[in-house]
């Protein structure tokens, strides 16, 4: 029976992550579109199509159809089935191991913050690195919307592999892992801390899970958005060549916009200003709030049943 229990955090984490993903994915699509607009390409800036989250939501729905808001949902679900399962399962497993060795709590019984952060950072880095190809597929399908409908998940995978090789599937893995470490290091320990502090007021009930997850989402959104912007731009970077003053996908003559994470950050700040690193912050927070609420409430209910 003990072995079965060891697998439960992984199963619960995966199921809760997939449930939360379905509920908030359209917001994630608007966030991704906002993050990639305004980049400097071939000495010119890409068009600013959307004025904000609501404008992006309305325009995508009107011009591309409601289905476009869910373009990339299947790689996102696949991502959560891997990333979410490994991340939350590893985090709570590491906490259990730390508790067994007396590293999790102080003498008064309170959990050590640094111990929680180390467990969360390790879980975030490992899971994000493994799931990176599904993240690349999700971003590409979200950015290009209905243009990827005919290709589908396998078609997009073949296109990336054909023109960019295996490395293309791990494009942006550095900032992806960094983002996951930041989010996990803030989100999971803050949730556990708030839940413990609110236990006397709400008990181990849905109200406690709701408030704790909302507070955790604000902290993780503030900390992770700049890394998320860089990650999204690197993942969307394609092999392009200038043809008749325009850009077209090509297998030859690749012209990369950014050489890496640092170069992307420097160019973004230089060309668009410091606040460009917070493009998509509102939809990021708007999504993280409901996502965390759905996830943690689902997770806690699965634990009970």
CA distance 31 to 146: 17
Domains identified in the chain and CATH numbers: 2-304 (1.50.40.10)
- The CA–CA distances, whole Å, from 48 to 45, 52, 107, 272, 282 equal 9, 10, 56, 12, 17
**Of residues 199, 179, 204, the one with CA closest to residue 129:** 179
Is the pLDDT score of 23 beyond 60? yes
- pLDDT tens digits along 175-213: 888 888 988 888 888 998 999 999 999 998 999 999 999
- pLDDT tens digits along 84-126: 889 888 988 898 888 888 888 877 777 788 888 899 999 999 9
pLDDT band for position 2 (cuts 50, 70, 90): very low
- The CA–CA distances, whole Å, from 84 to 88, 130, 136, 154, 287 equal 6, 11, 16, 21, 16
Residue 251: the pLDDT is: 42
Phi, psi for 111 (deg, rounded to 5): -75, 140
Residues in the chain: 305
Q: How far apart are the first and last CA of the chain?
A: 16
Residue 280: the pLDDT is: 86
Cα 240 to the center of its chain, rounded Å:
26
- pLDDT tens digits along 36-75: 887 766 556 666 788 888 898 999 999 988 888 998 888 8
Question: What distance separates the 2 farthest-apart alpha carbons in the chain?
Answer: 70
CA distance 214 to 18: 18
**Of residues 299, 251, 235, 233, the one with CA closest to residue 85:** 299
Residue 242: the pLDDT is: 35
Residue 148: the pLDDT is: 55
Q: For 26, how many CA atoms within 13 A lie in the half-sphere containing its CB?
A: 15
- pLDDT tens digits along 225-267: 999 899 888 888 764 433 334 444 444 444 568 888 899 999 9
Extended beta strands in the chain, E state: 40-41, 44-45, 240-243, 246-249
CA distance 2 to 220: 33
Torsion angle (degrees, nearest 10) of CA 134, 140, 143, 146: -100
Whether the CB-CB separation of 29 and 68 falls below 8 Å is answered with yes
Q: Is 165 left (phi over 0), alpha (psi -120 to 50) or beta?
A: left
What pTM was estimated for this model as a whole?
0.67
């Amino acid at each position: 029976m003990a072995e079965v229990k060891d697998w439960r955090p992984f199963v619960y984490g995966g199921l809760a992550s997939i449930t939360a993903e379905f509920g908030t994915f359209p917001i994630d699509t608007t966030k991704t579109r906002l993050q990639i607009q305004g980049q400097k390409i071939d000495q010119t800036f890409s068009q600013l199509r959307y004025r904000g989250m609501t404008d992006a939501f309305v325009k995508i729905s009107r011009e591309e159809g409601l289905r476009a808001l869910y373009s990339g949902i299947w790689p996102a679900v696949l991502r959560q089935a891997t990333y979410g399962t490994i991340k939350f399962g590893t985090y709570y497993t590491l906490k259990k191991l730390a508790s067994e060795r007396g590293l999790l709590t102080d003498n008064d019984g309170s959990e050590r913050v640094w111990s929680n952060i180390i467990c969360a950072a390790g879980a975030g880095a490992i899971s994000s690195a493994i799931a990176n190809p599904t993240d690349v597929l999700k971003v590409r399908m979200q950015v290009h919307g209905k243009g990827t409908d005919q290709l589908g998940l396998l078609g997009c995978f073949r296109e990336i592999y054909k023109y960019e090789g295996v490395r293309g599937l791990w494009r942006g893995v550095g900032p992806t892992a960094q983002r996951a470490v930041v989010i996990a290091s803030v989100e999971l320990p803050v949730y556990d801390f708030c839940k413990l502090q609110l236990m006397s007021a709400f008990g181990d009930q849905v109200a406690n899970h709701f408030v704790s997850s909302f507070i955790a989402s604000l902290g993780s959104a503030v900390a992770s958005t700049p890394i998320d912007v860089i990650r999204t731009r690197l993942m969307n970077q394609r092999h392009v060549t200038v043809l008749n003053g325009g850009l077209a996908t090509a297998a030859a003559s690749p012209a990369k916009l950014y050489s890496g994470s640092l170069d992307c950050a420097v160019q973004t700040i230089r060309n668009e200003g410091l606040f460009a690193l917070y493009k998509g912050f509102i939809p990021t927070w708007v999504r993280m709030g409901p996502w965390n609420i759905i996830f943690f409430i689902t997770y806690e209910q699965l634990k009970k049943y």
